[in-house]
Homo-oligomer: A and B are copies of this chain.
């Protein structure tokens, strides 16, 4: 019992340890932070999107989103404009520049992920993804 618990406890620490390692390496490898890459990558699939729905999609606090987007805007990769029909919301979209740059980033990103999962079967990746989703819902009520 106590052994099983300590095993489970380790999971959490392993999780944190792993992400701590991944983030800086990802950034060094690809030239962009994982969060910004995710934002761009979300935008890549849409025309224009509410900042708030974008925020929900990437699971990061709104405050951080605001800052990331402002930075991406000043670096010329995204455009922001207010929704004329509702002046509270902001529409975000990729610029041409951003649309080109993300292709490069995507390459680097794939290289990195491929290395990280190089000995994983397709089933393992699925299982891992599934387990993470379950964890997410299991703690969502907290």
A residues bordering B, Cβ < 8 Å? 4-5, 7-23, 25-26, 28-29, 34-35, 38, 41, 58-60, 109-110, 112-120, 122, 124-129, 131-136, 138-140, 142
- Decide if B59 touches A17 in the complex (CB within 8 Å): yes
Complex formed: what's the CA distance from A19 to B109 in Å?
Answer: 20
Q: Is the interface of A mostly helix, strand, loop or mixed?
A: helix
- Indicate how many identical chains form the complex: 2
**B21 and A19: CB pair below 8 A?**
no
Return chain B residues, CB-CB under 8 Å to A13.
34, 38, 58
Task: Give every chain B residue within 8 A of A139 (Cβ-Cβ).
Answer: 21-22, 25, 112, 115-116
Q: Is A59 a contact of B15 with CB atoms below 8 Å?
A: no
Are A29's CB and B125's CB within 8 A? no
Q: Is the CB of A128 within 8 A of B58?
A: no
Q: Are A26 and B7 in contact (CB under 8 A)?
A: no
**Additional 6 contacts, C-beta under 8 A, given A11-B129, A17-B59:** A7-B129, A10-B129, A11-B117, A12-B109, A112-B139, A119-B134
Query: Which residue of A16, A28, A34, A115 has the most chain B CB atoms within 10 A of its CB atom?
Result: A16
